[in-house]
Amino acid sequence: LWHERDITHSSVERVILPDASLTLDYMLQTLRAVVSGLVVHADRMRENLMSTHGVVFSGQVLLALMRQGLSRTQAYELVQRNALAAWKDGRDFREALLADRDIRRHLTPAAISRCLDPTHHLRHVNRIFRRVGL
């Protein structure tokens, strides 16, 4: 209780606030050094994403199935089955989903395509850049 405080904790407060401030300053300086030398290779990033055969977008499929009324457990089992098969066989995740009758019972081909569209994850990029002054 604030009105019942004594000075037993004040030493902790006198140490932690300056230490936390110095740590934050160090983190920001390190971040500035990393970001200022950052080179973005968009083609390589795209290759890395596609090297997963689309499995990287499995979370969107899970959410879409849940929006269709499946429990999280049911949706997870369907997505997991197809993600593991795609990964193991080097097969495209989209193809696995489209071939799965259980998935198709709940999602149309268009809905599956929307789930696997990388632009969904980039929809706020311009706003973020504006917020940080870029």
pLDDT value, residue 66: 98
CB atoms within 10 A of CB 112: 23
Residues 21-54 as b or e (16 or more Cβ within 10 Å = b): eeeeeeeeeeeeeeeeeeeeeeeeeeeeeeeebb
Mean pLDDT of 85-112: 95
More confidently predicted of 108 and 6: 108
CB atoms within 10 A of CB 105: 10
State how far Cα 37 lies from the chain centre: 24
More confidently predicted of 107 and 7: 107
Q: Indicate if the pLDDT at residue 12 is higher than 90.
A: no
Tell me the pLDDT tens digit for each residue of 35-87: 888 898 999 988 998 889 999 999 999 999 999 999 999 999 999 999 999 99
Mean pLDDT taken over the chain: 91
First-to-last alpha carbon distance for the chain, in angstroms, is 45
Mean pLDDT of 9-18: 78
Mean pLDDT of 3-22: 79
Determine the CATH number of domain 47-120.
1.10.40.30
Is residue 3 very low, low, confident or very high in pLDDT (cuts 50, 70, 90)?
Answer: low
